[in-house]
Structure 1
Amino acid sequence: MARMTGSWLSGPSAALPKGQTEAQAYRGELLGLPADGPGSLAATGRRVLALAVDWFTAAGVVMLLIGEAPLENPRLGTYTLMLWFLVGVACVSLFSFTPGQYMLGLQVARVDAPAKVGFLRALGRQVLMVFIVPAVITDVDGRGMHDRATGTALVRVR
């Protein structure tokens, strides 16, 4: 019984990767990223703010397209989600950032190779973000599960 409960009662050290006994000095150290400045992992606040900018921008565009009384349209949320999804996949696969990420100086980068994110990783990342929970659960680096699953990280560019 002690072994079973020890996995979730062991504290922060239980979240460390296998074979590692000490915590890393800063978030992203195990990924080979710098501690701060360009190339370092984005802080949670900036990530959330970039997501909010993207969402409200999509909502604004949808409201303009709907026309008269957009807030009374029962499909406003669905159309906003669809536009947010399409813009996210297109922008991340083409430019490695969404408009909100660009405004906040962030970029999606691959952690396994110095290459563009690409369509399939952008699509997978965006699909997981639709469900919200994978983006909320983070690892020791502060990367969401959607980033871990796609081998990406949201890093600062300035």
Structure 2
Amino acid sequence: MVDRKDIGSWLSGPDTSGVSKYPGERLGLPESGPGSVARAGRRIAAICIDWGIALLISNFAFGGDSWATLAVFAVEQTLLVGTLGYSIGHRIMGIAVVKPGGGTPGPLAGLVRAVLLCLVVPAVIFDPDQRGLHDKAMNTLLIRR
């Protein structure tokens, strides 16, 4: 015979005791404001700005070749994120790439992040803390400044 306790867990819904309340909580980041995880809107706007800049440079310098645009984008991401911790789009949108303890990612992290970002798929697969595979691979975070 079916008892109420057999179906009680189904009626009460899934266990959410291990789920964080907001992105970045598990990483010790604030819910909002400076230092919080950058949300999707800012990220998308930043990458659109960076791609637009790469497209402009490619059009003037290389005649608009699509591979040249991708290369300019990758170089911008590698150099700026690796050294300053942000690209032009990141800076405009008020976000930055940091290591979990703080500080800039470094040249290797900038290079690996740029290569994975150019592949697109790693950037659209993300965890509950909104860290894409390109961020997880180099242990970086995209936060609000």
Please give the range of the TM-score, normalised by the shorter of the 2 chains.
Answer: 0.7 to 0.9
Alignment RMSD (CA, Å): 1.8
Q: Does 1:107 align with 2:96?
A: yes
Aligned counterpart in structure 2 of residue 81 of structure 1, from 41, 49, 70 = 70
1:46 match: 42
Gap regions ≥5 residues in structure 2:
1-13
TM-superposed CA distance for 1:94, in Å, is 1.3
TM-superposed CA distance for 1:77, in Å, is 0.6
Alignment partners' CA distance in 1, 2:138 and 2:94: 21
Segments ≥4 residues shifted beyond 6 Å: none
1:28 match: 24
TM-superposed CA distance for 1:32, in Å, is 1.0
TM-superposed CA distance for 1:21, in Å, is 4.2
Instruction: Please list the CA deviations of residues 39-95 of structure 1 after superposition, one character each: whole Å capped at 9, or x if unmatched.
Output: 1001111101100100011101111224xxx45xxxx11110001100110001111
When the two structures are superposed, what TM-score results if normalisation uses the length of structure 1? Answer: 0.79
Alignment partners' CA distance in 2, 1:51 and 1:88: 10
Secondary structure of the residue that 2:55 maps to in structure 1?
A: helix
1:8 match: none
Name the count of aligned residue pairs.
133
When the two structures are superposed, what TM-score results if normalisation uses the length of structure 2? Answer: 0.85
1:120 match: 108
Secondary structure of the residue that 1:142 maps to in structure 2?
A: coil
Secondary structure of the residue that 1:134 maps to in structure 2?
A: helix
Alignment partners' CA distance in 2, 1:50 and 1:102: 8
Alignment partners' CA distance in 1, 2:20 and 2:79: 34
Secondary structure of the residue that 1:154 maps to in structure 2?
A: strand
2:61 match: 65
Gap regions ≥5 residues in structure 1:
1-11, 14-19
